[in-house]
Amino acid sequence: MKPIYAFEDANSKNKMLLGGKGAGLSEMTGLKLPVPPGFTITTEVCNKYYENKKRLPKNLMVEVNKHISKIEKKTGKKWNSSTNPLLVSVRSGAAISMPGMMDTILNLGLNDQTVEALTKKTNNPRFTWDSYRRFIQLFGKVVFGIKDEKFDEILDGVKNTQGVEEDSDLNVESLQKIVQNYKNICEEHTKREFPTEPNEQLNLAIEAVFKSWMGDRAIKYRRENNITKDIANGTAVNVVTMVFGNMGDSSATGVVFTRNGHNGKREIEGEYLTNAQGEDVVAGVRTGKKFEEMKKEMPKSYKEVINACAKLEKHFREPQDIEFTIEQGKFYLLQTRKLKMTATALVKTSVDMVKEKLIDKKQALRRMPAQQLEALLHRTIDESQIKNYKQLAKGVAASPGAASGIAVFDVKRAIEIGETGKKVILIRKETKPEDVPAFFSSQGILTSLGGKASHAAIVSRGQGKPCIVGCDELKIDYSNQTSTANGITVKDGDIISIDGSTGNVYIGEVPTVESQVTEDFKTILLWAQKAKRLGIRANADTPDSAKLAREFGAQGIGLCRTERMFSEKNRTELFVEMIMAESLEQRGQLLKKLQELQKSDFVEILRAMEGYKVTIRLLDPPLHEFLPNPEELMNKIYKENDNSEKTKRVLDRARELSEVNPMMGHRGVRIGITYPEIYEMQMKAVFEATADLIKKKINAKPQIMIPQVGSIEELDHIKSIYDNVKLEMEKKYKIKFKINFGTMLEVVRACLTSNELANTAEFFSFGTNDLTQGVFSFSREDVEGKFLPEYMDKEILETSPFQSIDENGVGNLMEIAISRGRKIKNNLEIGICGEHGGDPNSIKFCHNADVSYVSASPHRIPIAIVAAAQAAINKK
Ligand code: ADP
Ligand code: MG
Ligand code: MG
């Protein structure tokens, strides 16, 4: 492979090889746009450099020199010339733009001789010495690693002596003084003379760019933004002939966006500075002027920028972010790249560009980062107002959206205050199932412990409420009803705001912006619905979330968790009594009451999803989850001197039911087998609800799903209960019911024996959360809290398997289960529920694995629809 390509010779489609900047420069050169001549050293050379123990390939500089000669011919300038010297910039650029991550060196090629030559040629010593001091500072910083502050001290000192404030007002003597002092800094730092040979300067600069790829800033940026090697592998180096925006008042440098990156409107936005070099605008050394002002100040250049914007947008079919420089009235382009946009802007530009016939609907869908769409469905913090508020702390962003309210530390109090109509933010160390009623009365939840899989996080996401967890800098003091972080204490009753999309907690009521389900957004969803093949269902446990999911486009419910219904107010108690029942008869009576409650819930949910399938999962969690934990009870008995029989009985029962490893314990189908009366009650509730609706001519389509099944014997055992219930109900109502009976596949053994299960089951649904735990032998709560972050740091795992399906392990097992199951019933409905159902990568996997549908929480339905459409489009 060639190590170097001139802009006019490169294959500009190959971003991996040339980096985004190099590819853009070569693309623009090909379009005959005014790009200064230059060349790109490929990312392959960067990788060789690292393989080679950080040494440049031997003949690299020979090749570089050939390309420099080419530039000399094109420009008539000469390297190290005493009459017409060539200067270049040395710029990094990986396949993905990493703004500000790696520094650019400008004006390379200057030394005491060429600076004089340039002065003679331009008759503008202020310009040449200004360029020289910029070069030494950038070179010192990038190559020698000298801090900016050292240079700034000198700059400020000289500005003071001369009595000016702006860099551009420095006179020649001052600039010369600065150059001398800058050189001294470098020489003191390196204990050698400042390199004067352009060739040596270039050699060192190239090496420094390669080094910056593994610099702390760059590594951190890649990690935080999930930039893996298949996305960007090494940086390229671009060497570009210098053009000068600092050659006086007919020169300028600037940045423009072809559309508004914030709201997507079709208007050119930008900033420029006269008599300046690029770095100034980017670094904000001087405040730029609005691009519009250029219309008056430099009308010819203004037109050229506008034309270039139109040409580039039309060519790339994407809004662009463009850098330009004007040298004494002559216009140059120095960079173009895809504009970074908010989710709102992406939606608007997608719809607009289809209207403008710039792209088609498929492209419009393809360019949507599905993941970002969720932000549009929630209230968000008003970014423009944040600066007026104090930040209290930062935790883990667990459920998106923004909310304000009064801080309340007590669950009961949260319910009471919530009921008066006041807004509450519930602050707890952690939450438990018995706290769920308080979630309904709160605007948002903040916990100091726990990760993204904690109870607070999962319940909040299910309810679409903002939530921050693991905010460990917040010290919560229940006895005084306060919490303290960073020296600020918040008391019960104080107002705070939380941003569940970033994890930030603020003092006071930060204004928020309404969710943005715009017409454009609906248009995108409509296109996606038509393009996708996968079914999209919702994880919904309440009539409200069923309705919401349907509004967002869900076609059915893939997971309705019946235990959630027992967490609601007044019901927990009944359920606990049922668990505590001493005789079957007593339990039977309590179950009757619960059956009525479940039935009424099912009626409403089935009605909300009329015409679509609703998969109802029978009780899954172990019974002790509904009881207080024994330790807490002991405490209570001790502290409150509570010697009542009832408390003692609860304690005994809680101890009896407690388990060493509840995740693998007495739960799911295992409860159904040992307490058949519970499953029987739940099944009856489903049949009765259906009968009610049939009478009202409502097309209800429930199906019953059994969790945690590991063998056909378990499934058949429950099936016989189902058959009996069905018989009884058909007699009672004189109706032939069509209620499918199926199983979850979330136990490894179930997947491996799916050919057996398929004889009884009328559908399968992968519970990918439990399945992932089983396949890895990871207990999720422990793993995420303890070592998962370190696993990612050490690249043992690239992403969390709880976030995206682990294709090689879990995915492979799913494929086995699918093929074995479909051998028995070739049209078997096989879905997935579990959080992966809302993750774009997992959705792509499911599409390719021929899964029938994915099920996701209501607020992730639009993501799922768009991701499913993308999977379908990209496969063709
Ligand atoms: P970044 O990736 O941080 O944007 P760049 O390599 O684009 O860094 O360069 C930083 C600044 O220097 C930009 O404003 C750019 O326009 C300017 N610049 C880079 N090369 C040249 C050049 N050959 N002539 C004039 N200005 C340049
Ligand atoms: Mg740039
Ligand atoms: Mg499960």
- Report how far residue 93's alpha carbon sits from residue 4's, in angstroms, rounded to the nearest whole number: 14
What pLDDT score does 691 carry? 97
Kindly state the tokens that stand for 385.
Answer: 């107002």
What pLDDT score does 283 carry? 60
* Better-scored residue on pLDDT, 277 or 691: 691
Kindly state the tokens that stand for 184.
Answer: 């001294």
Nearest ligand to the C-alpha of residue 282? 1
DSSP alpha helices (H): ranges in 753-860?
754-760, 768-776, 780-786, 788-793, 812-824, 840-848
Kindly state the tokens that stand for 571.
Answer: 């019901």
Q: For the segment 756-799, what is each residue's pLDDT rounded down to a tens digit?
A: 999 999 999 999 999 999 999 998 878 876 788 788 778 898 88
How does strand 475-477 pair with strand 482-485?
antiparallel
Q: Relative to the CA of 323, which ligand 1 atom is closest?
A: 16
Q: For the segment 405-427, what is each residue's pLDDT rounded down to a tens digit?
A: 999 999 999 999 998 989 999 99
What pLDDT score does 382 carry? 87
Q: For the segment 610-669, what is each residue's pLDDT rounded down to a tens digit?
A: 999 999 999 999 998 888 778 877 877 777 777 788 888 888 888 888 888 888 999 999
Q: What is the distance in A from the centroid of ligand 1 to the CA of 249? A: 19
For ligand 1, whether the C-beta of 770 sits within 6 Å is no
Q: Are the beta carbons of 423 and 403 closer than 8 angstroms? A: yes
Confidence of residue 814 (pLDDT cuts 50, 70, 90): very high
Cβ neighbours of residue 200 under 8 Å, at least 6 residues apart?
none
Q: Which residues pair with 832 in a beta bridge?
A: 766, 854
* Better-scored residue on pLDDT, 545 or 739: 739
Total residue count of the chain as it appears in this document: 876
What pLDDT score does 223 carry? 79
Best probe residue, ligand 1, of 98, 235, 335 (max atoms within 8 Å of C-beta): 335
DSSP notation for 19-71: HHHHHHHHHHHHTT-----EEEE-HHHHHHHHHTTS---TTHHHHHHHHHHHH
Q: Are the beta carbons of 586 and 673 closer than 8 angstroms? A: no
Cα–chain center distance at 392? 23
At 717, give phi and psi (nearest 5°).
-60, -45
What pLDDT score does 693 carry? 97
Report, as an integer, the average pLDDT of 74-85: 95
Query: Burial of 663 by CB count in 10 Å (0-12 exposed, 13-18 middle, 19+ buried)?
Result: middle
Q: What is the distance in A from the centroid of ligand 1 to the CA of 222? A: 21
User: Which residue's structure tokens are 């170097």?
Assistant: 4
Q: Relative to the CA of 38, which ligand 1 atom is closest?
A: 23
Q: Relative to the CA of 238, which ligand 1 atom is closest?
A: 6
Q: Relative to the CA of 93, which ligand 1 atom is closest?
A: 2
Q: For the segment 8-61, what is each residue's pLDDT rounded down to a tens digit?
A: 999 989 999 999 999 999 999 999 999 999 999 999 999 999 999 999 999 999
Return left, alpha or beta for 668; rule: phi > 0 is left, psi -120 to 50 is alpha, else beta.
left
* Better-scored residue on pLDDT, 668 or 398: 668
Q: Are the beta carbons of 319 and 258 closer than 8 angstroms? A: yes
The CA distances from residue 642 to 579, 630, 646, 652, in Å, are 21, 14, 10, 14
Q: For the segment 358-370, what is each residue's pLDDT rounded down to a tens digit?
A: 999 999 999 998 8
For ligand 1, whether the C-beta of 279 sits within 6 Å is yes
User: Which residue's structure tokens are 């294959």?
Assistant: 11
Could you tell me the end-to-end alpha-carbon distance of the chain, in angstroms, rounded to an integer?
32
For ligand 1, whether the C-beta of 209 sits within 6 Å is no
Nearest ligand to the C-alpha of residue 242? 1
For ligand 1, whether the C-beta of 869 sits within 6 Å is no
Q: What is the DSSP letter of 506?
A: E
172 pLDDT higher than 90: yes
186 is catalytic: no
Q: What is the distance in A from the centroid of ligand 2 to the CA of 21? A: 8
Cβ neighbours of residue 642 under 8 Å, at least 6 residues apart?
636
Best probe residue, ligand 1, of 77, 134, 334, 340 (max atoms within 8 Å of C-beta): 334
At 103, give phi and psi (nearest 5°).
-90, 150
User: Which residue's structure tokens are 């209620």?
Assistant: 739
Q: Which residue has the least CA distance to atom 16 on ligand 1?
A: 278
Q: For the segment 516-528, what is each residue's pLDDT rounded down to a tens digit?
A: 778 999 999 999 9
Best probe residue, ligand 1, of 28, 104, 217, 285 (max atoms within 8 Å of C-beta): 104
Write out the residues surrounding ion ligand 3, Cβ under 5 A. 746, 767, 770
DSSP notation for 317-331: TS-EEEEEEEETTEE
For ligand 1, whether the C-beta of 107 sits within 6 Å is no
Q: What is the distance in A from the centroid of ligand 3 to the CA of 601? A: 21
Give the number of C-alpha atoms closer than 13 A to the C-alpha of residue 505, restricted to the C-beta side: 35
Where b means 16+ CB within 10 Å and e means fewer, 730-744 reads: eeebeeeeebebbbb
307 pLDDT higher than 90: yes
Confidence of residue 853 (pLDDT cuts 50, 70, 90): very high
What pLDDT score does 285 carry? 60
The mean-pLDDT minimum among 369-378, 485-494, 657-666 falls in 369-378
Q: For the segment 222-255, what is each residue's pLDDT rounded down to a tens digit?
A: 877 778 888 999 999 999 999 999 888 999 999 9
3-state secondary structure of 273: strand
624 is catalytic: no
Q: For the segment 132-160, what is each residue's pLDDT rounded down to a tens digit?
A: 999 999 999 999 999 989 999 999 999 99
The CA distances from residue 505 to 458, 463, 468, in Å, are 19, 20, 8
Query: Burial of 645 by CB count in 10 Å (0-12 exposed, 13-18 middle, 19+ buried)?
Result: exposed
452 pLDDT higher than 80: no
Longest dimension (CA), the chain: 106
3-state secondary structure of 114: helix
The CA distances from residue 331 to 27, 71, 297, 319, 722, in Å, are 17, 19, 14, 21, 78
Return left, alpha or beta for 22; rule: phi > 0 is left, psi -120 to 50 is alpha, else beta.
alpha
Catalytic residue among 186, 309, 378, 455: 455
For ligand 1, whether the C-beta of 19 sits within 6 Å is no
How does strand 740-745 pair with strand 701-706?
parallel
3-state secondary structure of 258: coil
What pLDDT score does 450 carry? 83
For ligand 1, whether the C-beta of 96 sits within 6 Å is no
Q: Are the beta carbons of 388 and 416 closer than 8 angstroms? A: no
For ligand 1, whether the C-beta of 323 sits within 6 Å is yes
Q: What is the distance in A from the centroid of ligand 1 to the CA of 201? A: 18
Order of strands, sheet of 269-274, starting from the edge strand that comes earlier in the sequence: 289-290, 269-274, 252-257, 320-327, 330-338
User: Which residue's structure tokens are 């150059």?
Assistant: 179
Q: Are the beta carbons of 700 and 607 closer than 8 angstroms? A: yes
- Report how far residue 546's alpha carbon sits from residue 701's, in angstroms, rounded to the nearest whole number: 14
Q: What is the distance in A from the centroid of ligand 3 to the CA of 708? A: 7
Q: Which of 558, 562, 518, 618 is nearest to 861 (CA)?
A: 558
- Report how far residue 588's alpha carbon sits from residue 600's, in angstroms, rounded to the nearest whole number: 19
Dihedral sign (CA 340, 341, 342, 347) = negative
Report, as an integer, the average pLDDT of 588-613: 95
Catalytic residue among 378, 833, 836, 846: 833
565 pLDDT higher than 90: no
Q: Relative to the CA of 278, which ligand 1 atom is closest?
A: 14
For ligand 1, whether the C-beta of 325 sits within 6 Å is yes
CB atoms near residue 579 (< 10 Å): 18
Q: What is the distance in A from the centroid of ligand 2 to the CA of 324? A: 9
Q: Are the beta carbons of 254 and 304 closer than 8 angstroms? A: no
Q: Which of 743, 796, 797, 748 is nearest to 770 (CA)?
A: 748
The CA angle 208-211-217, to the nearest 5 degrees, is 110
Q: What is the distance in A from the centroid of ligand 1 to the CA of 279? A: 7
Q: Relative to the CA of 88, which ligand 1 atom is closest?
A: 23
What pLDDT score does 365 carry? 96
For ligand 1, whether the C-beta of 212 sits within 6 Å is no
101 pLDDT higher than 70: no
Q: Are the beta carbons of 342 and 317 closer than 8 angstroms? A: no
